[in-house]
Structure 1
């Protein structure tokens, strides 16, 4: 009785902190871009906490110690490194700079930038299904822990959890979820030294483990961990499922990169988050499994997967009540953090890739704020209902890999292979999803269990890859994927006479942005307030016409531009207008009235973020701040304001 009361008290305090975080974050939300993307203001250290909190999911608390029981400490650590290094760190190095520079707020949005609207729609639907499955599974798992420990009905536990996270997410959006991730990981990092202390004082040091179970460091109850086996678990399938599918093809990791202030912040935060998880989260959790195996050989000596997942609970029963109640908050906080992040990932694609793209393409970010909140609420209520449908969360979670797998392949091939075509992207996605969905249904119904031969994800990935490799040579590539295209317009591609070109409308606005120093697709998209696919369509026309040049034909440079010698006739008043806005923003920074631009003058958060990033890059402002961006005018900025010069 005492343990349930203590846990209830601690849980109530934790829930109250989350709601207060949502109330606090509400003050920072002025439009849909703030609500869904934090206005691209998340700094490096805060994003480290956000990314690591996703990796420190509620399921990790059960599964990671269990892997040490099944396969030993070092093989299980190798398995976890497939996620932290192969997933997060490689994502930061290879993809985050491109994500931050391309301007797409969601993964499906980039797929239209690179391919077409059909691919975007198919992956949008798949992303919603996959993320709702992850969310439902996490909530049901959290509720099961609470129900077992406190003794309340499952429907009450699920409803309370939903009510809390819907409330603070509804109020503060992405900022509130970032608060939650910070609190969750902070709680986890506080728990780590406590876990180590309890292991040492309750059982003994590492020599005690080696004496009790000398083989526990390299093997476990299930024997040796397979390396290249196509069946799960193995290192190969972990690379595919936890690194490629769960990270590379997942929209909420895309959001984490797109929300950063700079591409350096996006890249570095993923690298540091991977290191933090490996050293300060996964290693201590694996030690729990190793210690419990040594302490209870009669229980864990022949443990199967189901028994191995109870290791964390066995550990809590072995330590004093106060500590066990506190450490039980760790999986609760981790599960809520992952569920809310998945919830925001699904909300963003519904708002950005369906509602705005299909029905309100010209709506301003401020006009979309209420719609974003309502979509978040509606999705939450839908998943709440699914949690009570027999097998609903399990079925959704089983399908999650089927829907998140193919987008990972599209990212890799789309960024690395410029010959890769839209037709190949579409059919590789459709066939890969179809194969995995059918195999999953056959397995759930007991008709055919493919897992006895190969994991369903590996089978679907092979189908997607083969389809992409077959269809690409048979279909027409984008113009920049043709062999004759070298990035420079020739006589047949640009103006036949090489004469200077004049542009009007949206094309002129793109040219003016580049001329004013906003040279990446992200900056152009944010300055014009349009979809990244529309901005890139304008860029492609200018590129083929010879008006602009890309920095390179792949990588981040593909989304970085400069004007060619052919482009002239730029009206001075257009450039002067942009320079005038920059000075107005700089003056607002100097006067401490930057908030007024968003609240009273209606400047969109992303346009303001683009201008501020340029002022920082040019040395007129100095940037800091753990939470919101904090700015100070530099001496160069003061001279610019006093002299009335242009940026």
Structure 2
């Protein structure tokens, strides 16, 4: 079946499809060259000159997250196990609301370039470097390599003779050189284009699949195994039990949307606090879309592509089976857009972390051109590492599982350190560093025990347990140690007044509450409709 589908997709690519793909690449390259000529400093390369507006921020957040790993992994998960995994998408509104209300004001007021930089201002340099190092490693071996692997899976479906290694090299080189040249501004501008292509292409596929089911939801339900169209699963479920849905998914989202440099870098580059907050809320609304245009197609594909062995090939195989000429090229361009979006974003963020957290320090400052040079060099080096790692993901048992389980080790103590740091003046540097070490040690230990069949908790439930443990450690150690002086705490601990005093054009707390309330209502609707 898979070989036939691969050949079918290869045969389905007509001249007009290739022209669409070529046209997309031409636009991307043009944007990269145009921006590269205007990139003069490290701040231009890493934060787009701190001039991003809310619309660009919102669409860029969406496009960088709705990447090839999502299109391939999430659709495959819906095909294989059901739509429960969609919670990772539409529940992103919870941490994005926290980002808008609490962390955007804190981060922008601190004028930081990297998220770990906040830990030094709030705690000490040890916590900054520790968190930065872990983030760099996971960004390259999970996010960047995952994007390259997903891209290789797609390419091999419509070009069956392509080598996975050579495909990763080709994608990595293109994305790496593009990012090294234009930096964050080039990334976010193409993100807007990519977001539109992804939405249009995925929506078209959804409509066609629904039409093949006679535009009847009842017909869809008949073709899908019982329980696979339900979000809330039993506690014994292996994929996403309901305790993990309630406690684990929002916590995983907190790491991703609030403390992940690869994502929050767009917020740090905001022109104003209003742009940062509105961009975060817009991203929350856009994250509702994948449930309907990416997850449900994976479930509907069960009746159209039965017995497909590799779930990671569901989305690209659907291209060959259901799309007409022209739309095939558009969707393939969308897949290329997704690959580019994830890879270039993660490379830029990891490069930012290395230059600002390790190369640059109090004793060694860098002039703008030198900072830009170091940024471009590190981007190329990280690209090569990701290319070498990407093919190994095939051994991880599925792309989506690989991504979520890898992050479950990192998340718990990070949530405790950032949340208490931003909201509780009593959190100390010693407490934070102890919580990071203890939390990661226990999370890694329980992960290993889980793989051995000894630890009984699902990894999403375990995230909640480990977060509580990390919080307790942070509070206990902080109560026994000295905290920073009051003046430093005034600059790094959230205050309600920051939202109003930094507001522009009427961007007050009341407006944020209204839009956040609508976002919560949309998430609640999905939970009830697909209970």
CA distance 1:378–1:310, change in 2 (3 Å): closer
Residue of structure 1 equivalent to 2:440:
433
Alignment of 1:208-287 (within 5 A): 208-211=216-219, 213=221, 220-221=227-228, 225-226=232-233, 232-234=239-241, 235-236=245-246, 238-240=248-250, 242-279=252-289, 281-287=290-296
Q: What is the Cα deviation at residue 15 of structure 1?
A: 3.1
Q: SS state of the match for residue 368, structure 1?
A: helix
Q: SS state of the match for residue 478, structure 1?
A: coil
Quick one: distance in 2 between partners of 1:149 and 1:178?
A: 28
Residue of structure 1 equivalent to 2:158:
149
Q: SS state of the match for residue 357, structure 1?
A: coil
CA distance 1:9–1:462, change in 2 (3 Å): farther
C-alpha contact (below 8 Å) 1:58/1:138 kept by paired residues: yes
Aligned counterpart for 1:329 among listed residues 311, 329, 333:
333
Q: What is the Cα deviation at residue 64 of structure 1?
A: 3.5
Q: What is the Cα deviation at residue 388 of structure 1?
A: 5.3
Quick one: distance in 2 between partners of 1:142 and 1:10?
A: 18
Aligned counterpart for 1:463 among listed residues 469, 476, 486:
469
Deviations 1:27-68 (A, max 9, x none): 321110101111100111111111111221212223444555
Quick one: distance in 2 between partners of 1:202 and 1:37?
A: 45
Q: What is the Cα deviation at residue 471 of structure 1?
A: 1.3
Alignment of 1:122-521 (within 5 A): 122-133=130-141, 134-151=143-160, 152-205=162-215, 208-211=216-219, 213=221, 220-221=227-228, 225-226=232-233, 232-234=239-241, 235-236=245-246, 238-240=248-250, 242-279=252-289, 281-295=290-304, 299=307, 309-322=312-325, 323-357=327-361, 360=364, 362-387=365-390, 399-441=406-448, 447-448=452-453, 450=455, 453-455=458-460, 457-480=463-486
Q: Which has the larger radius of gyration?
A: 1
C-alpha contact (below 8 Å) 2:21/2:332 kept by paired residues: no
Quick one: distance in 2 between partners of 1:406 and 1:230?
A: 26
Residue of structure 2 equivalent to 1:115:
123
Quick one: distance in 1 between partners of 2:59 and 2:231?
A: 33
Q: SS state of the match for residue 91, structure 2?
A: helix
Q: SS state of the match for residue 366, structure 1?
A: helix
Q: What is the Cα deviation at residue 344 of structure 1?
A: 1.3
Gaps of 5+ in 2: 1-9, 506-531
Quick one: distance in 2 between partners of 1:129 and 1:282?
A: 30
Matched, 1:91 2:99: yes
C-alpha contact (below 8 Å) 2:89/2:287 kept by paired residues: no
Quick one: distance in 1 between partners of 2:264 and 2:88?
A: 23
Matched, 1:58 2:68: yes
Between Structure 1 and Structure 2, which shows a larger proportion of helix residues? 2
C-alpha contact (below 8 Å) 2:87/2:249 kept by paired residues: no
CA distance 1:367–1:316, change in 2 (3 Å): closer
C-alpha contact (below 8 Å) 1:88/1:274 kept by paired residues: yes
Deviations 1:328-359 (A, max 9, x none): 33233213211221111111110001100266
Q: What is the Cα deviation at residue 148 of structure 1?
A: 2.6
Residue of structure 2 equivalent to 1:46:
56
C-alpha contact (below 8 Å) 2:69/2:146 kept by paired residues: no
Quick one: distance in 2 between partners of 1:447 and 1:428?
A: 25
Q: What is the Cα deviation at residue 560 of structure 1?
A: 11
Q: What is the Cα deviation at residue 198 of structure 1?
A: 1.8
C-alpha contact (below 8 Å) 2:21/2:330 kept by paired residues: no
CA distance 1:185–1:555, change in 2 (3 Å): same
Quick one: distance in 2 between partners of 1:552 and 1:320?
A: 52
Quick one: distance in 2 between partners of 1:363 and 1:180?
A: 28
Q: What is the Cα deviation at residue 268 of structure 1?
A: 0.5
Residue of structure 2 equivalent to 1:80:
89
C-alpha contact (below 8 Å) 1:174/1:344 kept by paired residues: yes
Q: What is the Cα deviation at residue 327 of structure 1?
A: 1.7
Quick one: distance in 2 between partners of 1:219 and 1:238?
A: 24
CA distance 1:451–1:88, change in 2 (3 Å): farther
Quick one: distance in 2 between partners of 1:9 and 1:127?
A: 38
Q: SS state of the match for residue 387, structure 1?
A: helix
Quick one: distance in 2 between partners of 1:129 and 1:192?
A: 31
Residue of structure 1 equivalent to 2:494:
554
CA distance 1:287–1:202, change in 2 (3 Å): same
CA distance 1:129–1:457, change in 2 (3 Å): farther
C-alpha contact (below 8 Å) 1:4/1:150 kept by paired residues: no
Normalising by structure 2, report the TM-score: 0.80
Residue of structure 2 equivalent to 1:103:
111
C-alpha contact (below 8 Å) 1:51/1:256 kept by paired residues: yes
Q: What is the Cα deviation at residue 214 of structure 1?
A: 5.4
Alignment of 1:558-573 (within 5 A): none
Q: How many residues align structurally?
A: 484
Gaps of 5+ in 1: 301-305, 481-538, 544-549, 562-612, 618-647
Cα root mean square deviation, aligned: 3.5
CA distance 1:192–1:426, change in 2 (3 Å): same
CA distance 1:269–1:224, change in 2 (3 Å): closer
Quick one: distance in 2 between partners of 1:186 and 1:422?
A: 43
Q: SS state of the match for residue 233, structure 1?
A: coil
Quick one: distance in 2 between partners of 1:552 and 1:464?
A: 21
Residue of structure 2 equivalent to 1:16:
26
Deviations 1:567-616 (A, max 9, x none): xxxxxxxxxxxxxxxxxxxxxxxxxxxxxxxxxxxxxxxxxxxxxx99x9
Q: What is the Cα deviation at residue 121 of structure 1?
A: 1.0
Q: What is the Cα deviation at residue 451 of structure 1?
A: 6.4
Q: SS state of the match for residue 367, structure 1?
A: helix
CA distance 1:182–1:204, change in 2 (3 Å): same
Quick one: distance in 2 between partners of 1:231 and 1:107?
A: 33
Quick one: distance in 2 between partners of 1:399 and 1:201?
A: 38
